Chain A
Amino acid sequence: QKEVEQNSGPLSVPEGAIASLNCTYSDRGSQSFFWYRQYSGKSPELIMFIYSNGDKEDGRFTAQLNKASQYVSLLIRDSQPSDSATYLCAVRPGTYKYIFGTGTRLKVLA
């Protein structure tokens, strides 16, 4: 079992719809969780992080964390073609290291 798992996609959604991206992790001791967006050929850029159970909203983005079920999700409301990218989930199980999933490719169709 991989430490951080994401569906590779592509996940295709029409413009204006809600995109839902999911991530599961194996280390129950993980403390903090991050979502990065990566455009093709570019480096990852941080979208948001979450460390408490529940929802955290930032503009069109909402991160959801359920530690009991060991999953974290990212919702993108009013999806735009510019949101088309690969979304990486990262988990911090300890003090220094971050464990990344392989990413979900999102395609927003105009």
Chain B
Amino acid sequence: DVKVTQSSRYLVKRTGEKVFLECVQDMDHENMFWYRQDPGLGLRLIYFSYDVKMKEKGDIPEGYSVSREKKERFSLILESASTNQTSMYLCASSLYPVNSNQPQHFGDGTRLSIL
């Protein structure tokens, strides 16, 4: 089974802090994704990566950056945390789409609160 592991289930930080969310997958997937999920807004893509050191902006990249130094690890960075970044953060991974039928597999999520 695919295993996507997020480093923290719950995290509380203060405004202005630099926050790191870590995600590791064990299935040698090329693609990795960071989403945030808010009530009524669904899953919104922040960034994704299709290869080591490669990254692409998603729909809401402002205030975030990412790092992918190794294939199995994809980090989300909140440069200067703000209260409107309080959310559930979900990491996902998928195989490179030789065909288009590769699903995403999600980690357990990190519920981040910014005070």
Contact = CB atoms under 8 A, between A and B. Distances in A.
Contact of B42 (A95, A97, A103): A103
Given A46-B103, A90-B104, A95 B109 contact: no
B112 to A, nearest CB: 14
A49 interface: yes
Kindly name the residue among B45, B50, B56, B58 whose own CB sees the greatest number of chain A CB atoms within 10 A. Answer: B45
Contact of A96 (B50, B105, B108): B50
A58 to B, nearest CB: 13
B73 to A, nearest CB: 18
The prevalent SS among residues of A at the interface is loop
Contact of B107 (A32, A43, A46, A90): A43
A101 B33 CA distance: 17
A44 B106 contact: yes
